[in-house]
Structure 1
Amino acid sequence: MNPPNLGGRRMHPKFKLAKPMTLSQLGTFSSPFANFAKYVDPSGRLNFHGKAILHASGVDFTNGNSYKINMNELMLLEELGKGQYGVVQKVHHVPTNVTMAMKEIRLELDQTKLNQILMELDVLHKSTSPFIVEFYGAFFIDCVYYCMEYMDAGSLDKLYGDGVPESVLAKMALAMVKGLKFLKDELSIIHRDVKPTNVLVNTKGDVKLCDFGVSGQLEQSLAKTNIGCQSYMAPERITTAEASTYTVQSDIWSLGLSLVELALGRYPYGGGKFDSVFAQLSAIVSGEPPELPADKFSQDCRDFVAKCLNKVPTERPTYGQLLDTPWLQKYETEKVDMAGWVQDALDAKNQRILLQQQMEQAQLAEQHPMA
C-alpha cells in the first residue's frame, strides 16, 4: 500500500531536522544549469516536456498524477549505496511515518541520462504490481530525488552467498517473471538490465524488481538501442550485427543467467576463467550456455533455466509460457519460508562482513606492529 496523503494534495512540513543539513552535506552540488536551459525554468522547476514537471515540493505528471513530497519532510537515516550518478539514502518520511529509499541523481549529465531519469520516474509511477518497488514521490533541488519503497534486506547479489536452495530460487523466479510480464503487458516495457543487483528483497520475503533507468518502450515487440549491463546481455545483443534491435526475449536470457548465478552463488562467466571482458563476451556468444548441476536441482528446474538460456532468441519461451512450466506451477502454490531464508542470508552476510573486517584489522596490525 502507498503511504497515505503522498498524492493528490500538498502536504505541509510538520518536522524540521534536529540538525539542519544542507544539500552540500548530502554529497550534492550545484548543477551547471546553463546546459539544461530547455529543462530548468527560472523558477527552478525541471520540466520534461509532455511528461512531467519536478519541483522542490514534488512531481506533477501530465496524466494528472501528482506526488507532493519535499526535503523538509524527510529525516536522513543512513546511506544505502553509491553509484556513478548519485547516492541512495535511507530516509524517514515524518508526516506519514514511513521509511523510504531516496535516490539522488546529479544533473551534470547528458541527454541520455536525462532520458533515463524520466524513464525510471515514468515506469515507477505507472507500476501497480506487487513485484515492482512502489513509488512514493519525487522532487528537484539541483538534483533529482525520488523516493521509493525501502526493501530492508537489499539486493539479491549481496544475499545469495554460496547459492540459494531450489524452493527459494523458484519463488524468486516467480516474482521476477511476474514483474517482467507486468512491464511488458501493461506498460509495453522491456527492462534491459535484469540482474541480481536489480532485484530487491525485504525481511517479509517479498521479491521486487527495481532500476528502470535503461528500460525501453517496445515498438511492435522490438526495442531499439543497445543499453544495459554487458555481462548479462543475451548473445544477440552482444553481436554487432544484431545489437540494434532485439525482442523482450533478451530479458529472458538475462533472467536465466541471473537464476544460475543465484543458484550457484557466483556469476557463471566469472571466477577468473576469462582473462578479459572480450573473452567473457565471446564465451557468452560462442560457448555453451551454463547449466545447473543435476545433483542439486530438479530436472524441472534445470529445464526452466535451459529454456531461458536458449541461444536462439525466437526459441525462448514467453513470460506466460514460463509461468505455465511445471517448475513454476509447482511453486506457485507451495509455501516456502522466504522470510526465514532472508533472515538467514542477512545473518550470513553480516558474518562475512565481520570476518572481512577482522582480516583487514589483522593485516593492518601486521603491517604496523606496535613498538
Structure 2
Amino acid sequence: MDRDFALGGFGMNLNMNQPAAQPAPAPQPHHPSRGSNTHNVQNLLAQAEKNSGFLTLQGLRRKAEIKELEFVEDIGHGSCGTVSKCSYQSVTMAVKTMPRTSNSYEMSRILMDLDVICLSFDCPYIVRCFGYFITAYDVRVCMECMATCLDRLLIRIQKPIPENIIGKLSISIIKALHYLKTKHQIMHRDVKPSNILLDWSGVIKLCDFGIAGRLIESRAHSKQAGCPLYMGPERLDPNNMNSYDIRSDVWSLGLTLVELATGHYPYAGTEFDMMSKILNDEPPRLSPDHFSPDFCDLVENCLQRDPTMRPNYDQLLAHPFITHHEQLDTDVEEWFADVMGDSA
C-alpha cells in the first residue's frame, strides 16, 4: 500500500509546478503500513521522498530548501542523530538530523518516526512537525522547538517535580498515548522522561516515535523495541513468548511518574541489576506520607506485574487523580519559569 508522508495527508497528487506558498488541503485519512524488510523500507522511503522539501507554516505549504535553514545552536544528540535549533523565515524550529543508511532496521526507525509525527498533526499532545528533507546522506525533520525534556529538567533542577505539575503532565501524556491507539492503532513503546517535552508556555508533548509499533488486533509483537529499563516485566521475561498491548506502555508511564515524583529512577544498580529487579521484585510504590491517596493509587494501578490488571487509557482518564487535575487551574508555565530561574 502506498503511503503519503505529507503532514496528515497534506499534498496528495503533488504538482511540482505549484506556487511557492499555498493553503494546505484537508487531511486525508490513512493508516501506516510498515515493516523492516529491505524491499518494504525502500518503497516507504520512495513514498516519503515525494513530499521531501516542503514546510507547512501558518496553514501554508511551501517549497523550501535546506540552505534556507539558518543554524542557531545545537540542542542535543542521541543514538539516532542530532537535534539543532534552526530558523526559517523568522520561525524557530528544532531540526532532527538522522543519517541515511543502507541498514533496513535503522531506516525503518527513521521512517516510523517520520510517519507517526506526520500522522499526528491534529493532536495537541504530540510534538508538531512542519515538514522534512530527505537527501542522499540524511533525513532532517523540522519540528516545533520545545524548551526541554523531562530527564534533562530533573538533572537541572535537582529535585522532584511537584504533584500538581505531574497531574497536568499525566493528562497530556495519557491523552497522547490514547490518541495514537484510538486514531492510528499505534503503540509508542518508549515512554520515558526523555521522550516527554515541555515548552516555555507550560505545554507538555510526547515525542520520539522511531520504535513505535502498529498494533495488530490491538497487540504488538516485537519484544526488543524500547528502553529495557522502562519495559514492563512481561516484555523482559525471556520465557514469555506472548504478544503485548498498550498496557506495557502503562507500566512505562507508571515508572516515569515515580521518577518525576521522587526525582530519581526507582531502581538502582547496574542495568542488569535493574532489569532483574523489574522482573523479580515487587513494583515500586509512592509513599502515602508524601503523596495524595489518588496519586499513590494511580501509580499502583499502572505498576501491576500482571498486565491484565493494569488500566487502559480510558480507565486512566477516568481515574480520580486525572479528573481532579483536569479541573485544577495549575500554572505549569509559571512553575517552569521559576524552577529554570532558580537553577540558572
**TM-score, L = length of structure 2:** 0.83
Give secondary structure in 1 for the equivalent of 2:329. coil
1:241 aligns with 2:234: no
Distance change (3 Å), C-alpha of 1:10 and 1:87: farther
Q: CA-to-partner distance for each residue in 1:36-65, whole Å, 9 max, x for gaps?
A: x9799xxxxx86267422576349xxxxxx
Who is 2:333 aligned against? 339
- 8 Å contact 1:154–1:201 — kept in the other structure? yes
1:259 aligns with 2:257: yes
Partner Cα separation in structure 1 for residue 123 and residue 194 of structure 2: 19
1:147 aligns with 2:142: yes
Unaligned stretches of 5+ in structure 2? 1-9, 12-17, 22-37, 56-60
Who is 2:306 aligned against? 312
Unaligned stretches of 5+ in structure 1? 1-6, 13-36, 41-45, 60-65, 351-371
**TM-score, L = length of structure 1:** 0.77
Superposition deviation, residue 230 in structure 1: 0.5
1:301 aligns with 2:299: no
Who is 2:20 aligned against? 11
Number of residue equivalences: 304
Partner Cα separation in structure 2 for residue 50 and residue 186 of structure 1: 25
Identical pairs, percent? 39
Who is 1:53 aligned against? 49
Superposition deviation, residue 314 in structure 1: 0.6
- 8 Å contact 2:53–2:131 — kept in the other structure? no
Who is 2:72 aligned against? 77
Superposition deviation, residue 320 in structure 1: 0.6
Give secondary structure in 2 for the equivalent of 1:87. strand
Partner Cα separation in structure 2 for residue 255 and residue 109 of structure 1: 34
Who is 1:367 aligned against? none
Q: Which has the larger radius of gyration?
A: 1
Moved more, 108-117 or 185-194: 108-117
Q: CA-to-partner distance for each residue in 1:257-301, whole Å, 9 max, x for gaps?
A: 00000000001113xxx2x32221110011011111212210000
Partner Cα separation in structure 1 for residue 339 and residue 128 of structure 2: 24
Superposition deviation, residue 189 in structure 1: 0.4
Give secondary structure in 2 for the equivalent of 1:246. coil
- 8 Å contact 1:54–1:140 — kept in the other structure? no
Alignment of 1:1-371 (within 5 A): 8=11, 11=20, 48=44, 51-53=47-49, 57-58=53-54, 68-94=63-89, 97-108=90-101, 110-127=103-120, 128-141=122-135, 142-151=137-146, 153-160=147-154, 161-226=158-223, 227-242=225-240, 245-270=243-268, 274=269, 276-350=270-344
- 8 Å contact 1:47–1:53 — kept in the other structure? no
The one-letter amino acid paired with 2:333 is: A
Give secondary structure in 2 for the equivalent of 1:221. coil
- 8 Å contact 2:52–2:131 — kept in the other structure? no
Moved more, 162-171 or 237-246: 237-246
